[in-house]
Chain A
Amino acid sequence: MLWKDNYKLGVPLIDAQHQELFRRVQSFLQVLRSKDSWDEKIPMINETLEFMKRYVVEHFQAEEDYQRSINYPGYEAHKQIHDDMVNYVQEVSKKYEQSQNDEQLMQQFGGRLLAWLINHVCAEDQRIADYAKEKGMSGNEG
């Protein structure tokens, strides 16, 4: 399992979003790392890549909406990190298309995405959760 309980930040709304995001990324990684030949995997890779790309953007937007709703002071900096990742995903996707489905490129993307995502949740998103809890807006108060 990609998702681990120690990634929980203690804000139910963010935790639910993260678990869904991790499920999408896990589906992508499972296809990427399956034992089938690359040619056999390409249709499934392309499909899960598109699906995951859309979901990453949706997730970032939902997280940013939440940050605005609690007046999170680090919103601009956090949004910049999201924007940089979205740009990277789009850039890789474009190169992948131009390369006519280069496997190495997609394996590199998968590795970076994995490490980036875990650090982002454990380090950057933790700050949002800490702020929400400090302000009594984590959804755990009731």
Chain B
Amino acid sequence: MKDKLYRTFVDATRNVFNLMLNISDISDHPAENLKCDDGIDIAVGIVGDLQGEVVYRFPVSTSLNMVNIMSGMQFEEVDAFVTSAISEIANIISGNVLTALSDNNMKCDILPPVQGNPDDNKEYEMKTSCCLSTSIGEIGLEIRLNLVS
């Protein structure tokens, strides 16, 4: 189950990057935890058959590259505009994951994205992290979910 979730999140991220940013060359590898000092963390809560959250970590350079591609403009620092655009992308990826899960009869919903990493030291049945490498930088994903019976 954990591996399947991991793959679903990675595939959704890959699809969204391909569609929205025209970036197709993406590789992934498991990471023990998200390591990046200057990243923007966006947490998306999940409720329903699965309960918990996924945290997306976008390093500053990756974030700026993403917004530069989308807007065709030059952004040089992370501000409210960039954070909001990145949050929406986290929201879109999570929405795509839910669609994939619902195809497997898992009913979940997502909460609006919030900036930050609410690490509350809770125990999770499924906890996994990975790092995705793309031509515009890396992205970290931390999945922390419990299966609600």
Chain B contact residues, CB within 8 Å of chain A: 16, 19-20, 22, 67, 70-73, 79-89, 92
Inside 8 A of A6's CB, which chain B residues have their CB? 22
A103-139 to B contact mask, C-beta < 8 Å, 1/0: 0100111111011101100110000000000000000
Within 8 A of B (CB), among A1-26: 1-2, 4, 6, 26
A87 to chain B minimum Cβ distance, whole angstroms, is: 14
Does more than half of chain A's interface fall in helix, strand or loop, or is it mixed?
helix
A53 to chain B minimum Cβ distance, whole angstroms, is: 18
Q: Is the CB of B71 within 8 A of A108?
A: no
Inside 8 A of A119's CB, which chain B residues have their CB? 16, 19-20, 88-89, 92
Inside 8 A of A109's CB, which chain B residues have their CB? 84
Q: CA separation between A116 and B91, bound complex, in Å?
A: 10
Chain A contact residues, CB within 8 Å of chain B: 1-2, 4, 6, 26, 29-30, 32-33, 104, 107-112, 114-116, 118-119, 122-123
Chain B residue with the shortest CB-CB distance to A6: B22
Q: Is the CB of B85 within 8 A of A114?
A: yes
Cβ contacts A to B, 25 pairs, < 8 Å: A1-B72, A2-B71, A6-B22, A26-B72, A29-B71, A29-B73, A30-B73, A107-B80, A107-B81, A108-B80, A110-B81, A111-B67, A111-B83, A111-B86, A111-B87, A112-B85, A112-B88, A114-B70, A114-B88, A115-B70, A115-B92, A118-B70, A119-B19, A119-B92, A123-B19
B78 to chain A minimum Cβ distance, whole angstroms, is: 11
Q: CA separation between A119 and B90, bound complex, in Å?
A: 12
A24 to chain B minimum Cβ distance, whole angstroms, is: 14
Q: CA separation between A75 and B20, bound complex, in Å?
A: 23
Q: CA separation between A1 and B16, bound complex, in Å?
A: 20
Q: Is the CB of A112 within 8 A of B92?
A: no
